[in-house]
Structure 1
Amino acid sequence: MTQISIEKYQDSDFKKVISLLVSSFESKFCHRQNLTMSNIENILYSIWDIKAENSSYLHFVAKKDGKVVGVILIRVGKPLKSQKKNLFFHLCQRYGLFNMLFLIFKLSVLEMVTSKDCYVEHIAVDKSMRGNGVGELLISYAEEVLRGRGFTSLSLVVAENNSAKHLYDRNGFKDIKHISSRFKEYFIGINQWVFMRKNLIRNPQGKILKVK
């Protein structure tokens, strides 16, 4: 398999991570949106505040030859308030009020979580690297860190028809609830979702304990 390193996210990775996320979730970001991918990247550069030292998240990147080819962000606590300056009015002047409001609502829909578990906010792999085990490496690495910190479960939400669901099935995530959401369908074009959870507790022999 192609040699991949998993590293803790650094602030210097910010723009590369944003670019990867936008290209990976292009259909969701661009749904009903009168903005180009370049526009969306520029807006996210301005409004997202993803800091390496934020203790509310575990954040790792996969790299090949120094290039970011994958990313996973896991929420482990209540998010800290962003320290980034609000450029909303400036961005509205540049991209239009409706486009900005729609994109912000879309981001809130993507981040809408009711689970109190550790939660995968997003995981993305560069299109050119899919099928090389990058997603599994990111998940496995993150799970070991979570176990080391005493966390007992990890959850996520995935679109029911997303091929990534097979990855989660293989890695021990179980379907907990199937969700139908017209609200999400309107903003990001997908109606059917699955809430999944994985137990992270090991027994003394090192095996994963089953949850009934």
Structure 2
Amino acid sequence: MDYTSVTTQQPLSFEDLNRPPQPVLPAISPVVIRNATASPEDRKFLGEVVVMGFERKFAHATSQSKLPLMKTYYEKHTSGRPPLFYERYFIAEYNGERAGACCLRYQGDDALFPERDEDLPNFGCCDLFGLCLMDLATKTDIPAGKAYVDHICVLSKFRGKGIGKTLLDMTDMDATKRGCKSIFLWVSTSNPAQHLYERQGYVTKETTSPFSCCMYCMIGEKEFALMEKDL
């Protein structure tokens, strides 16, 4: 499957794990947006979205052969988290089929949902070093009162159906509900998704290419745009 991506408490009870997903945005035509759940199906889908959506970056940091291990990592990463964790993830369904996803982040989320060493598969030292460099290059500080679109991805066969726009509408609603005054993201300047963001009201605040050669070594990209939207 082909994906398009953008760069940009208590454990769940048995009832929570088995509760049917509830739409959080009214259905518009065949598109429904809902929160992710801890179900194996949702976790597998989110793992595929992240890895396939950022395939070039992950392959750059490790290798093409390690992509299945990265999917396993993200499946584990989204397992057994507190309820608030799943509220950060939105899944778009088109006629009942999972079609895309996005993830929001707020200030303090790194502390609320820390990385877990036990989630990591058996990577070699070189692969771990490459992933650490990628993490350094993509680390983003989130100020109070702002929401950050960590990533948004849509399956290629569902492009052109307004799914990306509907996911972004959902992020606006969630950020507003949580008292944010603006929402922002980082996107490679070579990514045509910038036009979608502009249509959604995002404005480019700056374009940066810090230590471009070094940045390219880390993630395979040289220049990024910071885009922001007032809510």
The verdict on a shared fold, with TM-score over 0.5 as the criterion, is: yes
**Partner of residue 34, structure 2:** 7
2:230 to 193, 199, 203: 199
**Partner of residue 74, structure 1:** 104
**Partner of residue 172, structure 1:** 201
| Unaligned 5+ runs, structure 1 | 201-212
1:53-64 equivalences under 5 Å are 53-54=83-84, 58-64=88-94
- Tell me, in whole angstroms, the C-alpha distance in 1 between the residues paired with 2:128 and 2:191: 27
Does residue 154 of the first structure (1) align with residue 183 of the second (2)?
yes
Aligned length: 196
Counterpart of 1:6 in 2: which secondary structure? Answer: strand
Counterpart of 1:132 in 2: which secondary structure? Answer: coil
Q: 1:11 to 1:131 in 2, by over 3 A?
A: same
Superposed displacement of residue 133, structure 1:
1.1
Using the aligned pairs only, state the percent identity: 23
Q: 1:188 to 1:85 in 2, by over 3 A?
A: closer
- Tell me, in whole angstroms, the C-alpha distance in 2 between the residues paired with 1:22 and 1:165: 21
Q: 1:125 to 1:50 in 2, by over 3 A?
A: farther
- Tell me, in whole angstroms, the C-alpha distance in 2 between the residues paired with 1:16 and 1:65: 16
Superposed displacement of residue 43, structure 1:
3.0
| Unaligned 5+ runs, structure 2 | 1-27
Q: Is the 8 A contact 1:74 1:121 kept in 2?
A: yes
Instruction: Give the stretch that moved more between structures: 78-87 or 128-137.
Output: 78-87
Instruction: Give the stretch that moved more between structures: 171-180 or 12-21.
Output: 12-21
Structure possessing the higher relative contact order (Cα contacts under 8 Å, 6 or more residues apart):
2
Q: 1:108 to 1:61 in 2, by over 3 A?
A: farther
**Partner of residue 206, structure 1:** none
- Tell me, in whole angstroms, the C-alpha distance in 1 between the residues paired with 2:132 and 2:78: 11
Does residue 189 of the first structure (1) align with residue 220 of the second (2)?
yes
Superposed displacement of residue 127, structure 1:
1.8
2:50 to 21, 26, 35: 21
Q: 1:126 to 1:114 in 2, by over 3 A?
A: same
**Partner of residue 5, structure 2:** none
Q: Is the 8 A contact 1:8 1:61 kept in 2?
A: yes
Q: Is the 8 A contact 2:106 2:142 kept in 1?
A: no
**Partner of residue 10, structure 2:** none
Q: 1:51 to 1:72 in 2, by over 3 A?
A: farther
Q: Is the 8 A contact 1:153 1:199 kept in 2?
A: yes
Superposed displacement of residue 16, structure 1:
0.8
Q: Is the 8 A contact 2:62 2:126 kept in 1?
A: no
Q: Is the 8 A contact 2:61 2:131 kept in 1?
A: no
Superposed displacement of residue 83, structure 1:
6.6
